[in-house]
A and B are shown apart, each in its own frame.
Chain A
Amino acid sequence: MTITSAYDRGRLTVYLSGELDHHAAGEAIHGIDELLDEFLPRDCVLDLSGLSFMDSSGIAVIARARYRMQSLSGRIWIECPSPQVQRVLDAACIDRLVPVTSGNIGGLR
């Protein structure tokens, strides 16, 4: 799994790609933590379009990122999950915690 990011005017977009399972989750949690510490963003977008597989370990990664954004009084949402990732998100009812959008909507205003 790889993590890349883009930052623009208070918005940090984190691009996760590859397979996000328990093996990769620790690296993802710490990678996102480091990005949030560096940029202290107002908004954080988790772009999952590059994830070919995710299991419930990804839910822990998302929950951790949400907790960190809450501590920054910022917002967070998920964009572009694949159908397999969407099924895991649905099973975990993640949209009760973090909004999920099917495409880039330019932010939640």
Chain B
Amino acid sequence: MNTVNIIRLEFPSKSVNESFARTAAAAFAIQLDPTVEELGDLKTAVSEAVTNAIVHAYPDSIGQIGMKLRILERDTLEITVRDWGRGIENIEEAMKPLYTTGGEERSGMGFTIMQSFMDSLRVRSSPGKGTTVVMRRTIRPRITGK
């Protein structure tokens, strides 16, 4: 699908930036006229992806996180969250509900929530090189909105 609009952000893997990332994604998504529920879903999915990068990619250091937001044809929002950190050895295992290596502040539900709240989720990772998470969600035009 062709790109209608695109924005790229890069920020350090500090937990204070979780709020910034989801708020920025929501602000970009506004042009698709999402419902409050859709906006909440997008913010939640971004929060999970960025938190995973902060907790798992750079457990002992501060690294960079890239976030690319694209609006595609047919009212689809694509969110890419990328890090250049530790990577995931076993993606299938990492995506299982309740699986976590992130300590008491993580529940192991991050990927489950991303899958539940978005239409699609793809994860690519290379140990030692980093992880890329790509999520898509179509925002259906509202009958009274456009």
Report if A and B associate in a common complex: yes
Choose from B22, B54, B107 the contact partner of A56 (Cβ within 8 Å): B107
Closest residue on chain B to residue A90 by CB atoms: B116
| CA of A19 to CA of B55, assembled, Å | 18
Residues of B within 8 A of A64 (CB): 104
Q: Is the CB of A83 within 8 A of B106?
A: no
Interface residue tally for chain A (C-beta within 8 Å): 22
Give the number of residue pairs across the A-B interface with Cβ within 8 Å: 78
Q: Taking the nearest CB of chain B, how far is it from the CB of A19, in angstroms?
A: 6
Closest residue on chain B to residue A93 by CB atoms: B97
Residues of B within 8 A of A21 (CB): 15, 18-19, 47, 51
Q: Is the CB of B44 within 8 A of A87?
A: yes
In the complex, which of the residues A23, A25, A61 has the most CB atoms of chain B within 10 Å of its own CB atom?
A23
Choose from B105, B112, B113 the contact partner of A22 (Cβ within 8 Å): B105
Q: Is the CB of B47 within 8 A of A60?
A: no
| CA of A88 to CA of B18, assembled, Å | 17
Q: Is the CB of B51 within 8 A of A91?
A: no
Residues of B within 8 A of A61 (CB): 105
Residues of A within 8 A of B36 (CB): 83
Q: A63 interface residue, CB < 8 Å from B?
A: yes
Q: Is the CB of A91 within 8 A of B117?
A: yes
Closest residue on chain B to residue A23 by CB atoms: B15
- A-side interface mostly: helix
Interface size class of B (residues with CB under 8 A): 20 to 34
Q: B34 interface residue, CB < 8 Å from A?
A: no
| CA of A97 to CA of B22, assembled, Å | 28
Residues of B within 8 A of A56 (CB): 48, 106-110, 112-113
Q: A53 interface residue, CB < 8 Å from B?
A: yes
Residues of A within 8 A of B43 (CB): 53, 84
The verdict on A91 contacting B105 (CB below 8 Å), with A55-B51, A56-B48, A83-B37 known, is: no
In the complex, which of the residues A26, A83, A87 has the most CB atoms of chain B within 10 Å of its own CB atom?
A87
Q: A57 interface residue, CB < 8 Å from B?
A: yes
Q: Taking the nearest CB of chain B, how far is it from the CB of A73, in angstroms?
A: 22
| CA of A57 to CA of B47, assembled, Å | 10
Q: Is the CB of A60 within 8 A of B117?
A: no
* Interface residues, chain A, with chain B CB atoms under 8 Å away: 19, 21-23, 25-26, 29, 53, 55-57, 59-61, 63-64, 83-84, 87-88, 91-92
* Closest 5 pairs between A and B when the two form their complex, measured CB to CB: A84-B40, A23-B15, A59-B107, A56-B109, A25-B105
